[in-house]
Amino acid sequence: MNDDSTNEDWDNYVKENENKIFCPNDKPFWTGEECIQCPALFNIITRKCMECEEGFALHADTHKCEPAEPLEPYLVDLFNAIF
């Protein structure tokens, strides 16, 4: 879901589709054609996987894209050395 989506959107989506779609736990999202798994977020409006914008990260507790914590300088150096 994006920032324009609300819990009410989700509740309405579930109510409208609760008897129609049965996706397995390992692929819980319905695209309108198939059940899929998303690495981060699933937009129920577009029915597509999406990722947080650059500089943001998915917060495990809120399930929202929030500003990413800056990496420690030594981690940036390590990353740059590897890639």
pLDDT, tens only, 3-62: 566 778 877 877 776 666 788 999 999 898 899 999 878 888 899 999 988 888 888 888
Select from 18, 16, 15, 59 the least CA-distant residue to 41: 59
pTM over 0.75: no
Q: Are the beta carbons of 31 and 47 closer than 8 angstroms? A: yes
